[in-house]
Amino acid sequence: MDISIREGILTPDTFAGLRMACGMPELESDLVGRAIASSLFTLSAVSGPRTVGMVRVVGDGAFVFLIYDLLVVPLWRRRGIGSRLVEEAITRAKRYVPPGRALVISLFSVEGREGFYARLGFTELPAQGLGAGMQYFCL
pTM assigned to the model: 0.92
- Our separate counts of H helices and E strands in the chain read 4, 5
**Which three-class secondary structure state does DSSP give residue 127?**
strand
Residue 101 CB contacts under 8 Å (≥ 6 apart), including other chains:
63
pLDDT in tens, 97-118: 988 888 899 999 988 999 999 9
CA 81, CA 5: separation in Å to the nearest integer? 9
What is the predicted pLDDT for the residue at 17?
94
What does the domain layout of the chain look like in residue ranges? 4-119
| The 4-7 sheet, strands edge to edge | 4-7, 41-47, 50-59, 64-72, 104-107
CATH code of domain 4-119: 3.40.630.30
Cα–Cα distance for residue pair 17/51, rounded to 1 Å: 9
pLDDT at 138 over 80: no
What are the pLDDT digits (tens) for 25-80?
A: 988 989 999 999 999 999 999 999 999 999 999 999 988 899 999 999 999 999 99
Predicted confidence band at 130 (pLDDT cuts at 50, 70, 90)? confident
